[in-house]
Amino acid sequence: MEGLRHSLLAPSGATVVIIFGTLDAMMTMIKTKYSAKDDNGKMLFPHPFAPWTKVDPKYEDQADKALRAWRMFENVKEWTFMSLPLMWIFAGFAGSIPKVTDQMVDIAVVTSTIGYCYGNYLFSKGYIESPEKRLKGFNVRTNVVKFWLGGSAIAVVCTALQKYGVLTIS
């Protein structure tokens, strides 16, 4: 059991960090959305959030910022649900790639997760400022997911080849 816990440590820790990043994006969205108020302190949008609600043009900047915050969080949620399985597949199977050790896999999982979270952070904060400022974070996060996707595909193929005796690693 100890060996299993040790082998699951990096992807489990990565999952916790990614979920905390998603929660941070949610809290940023909530703070931004609920701070959008008129001169009388009344919220610009009803609860539950209805971004299509017409607002006085006087408050358009606040409304746009709230809408961008909502879109940012929706995007972060989508990427989290698409990314986590890839990270786990990579973590579980990458050791089957020739010349790749379990320690190398753990290091790759931890460092790529740091990159993913950094990209998500830049994306979240940038998108609220302006749609253009989200791109750097989006690109960082996308490259990490491409790494996980490519690594997962190679790892699964290597595992299948080993299972059927086509590939042997020592």
List, for residues 30-77, the tens digit of each pLDDT value: 999 999 999 999 999 988 888 888 999 999 999 999 999 999 999 999
Cα angle for residues 62, 81, 143 (degrees, 5° grid) = 85
pLDDT at residue 3 in the model: 82
- pLDDT for 145 equals 98
pLDDT given at position 47: 86
Can you give the pLDDT at residue 170? 66
Mean pLDDT over the full length of the chain: 95
Q: What is the pTM of this model?
A: 0.92
Residue 133 has pLDDT above 80, yes or no: yes
pLDDT at 21 over 70: yes
pLDDT single digits (tens) 90-119: 999 999 999 999 999 999 999 999 999 999
In this structure, which CATH number among 1.20.120.550, 3.40.50.1860, 2.160.10.10, 2.40.50.140 belongs to the domain 2-163?
A: 1.20.120.550
pLDDT reported for residue 40: 95
Task: Count CB atoms within 10 A of the CB of residue 127.
Answer: 26
Please check whether residue 155 is in contact with residue 94, taking contact to mean a CB–CB distance below 8 angstroms. Answer: yes
**CA distances (Å), origin 53, targets 46, 48, 136:** 8, 11, 30
Token digits for 127? 């998108």
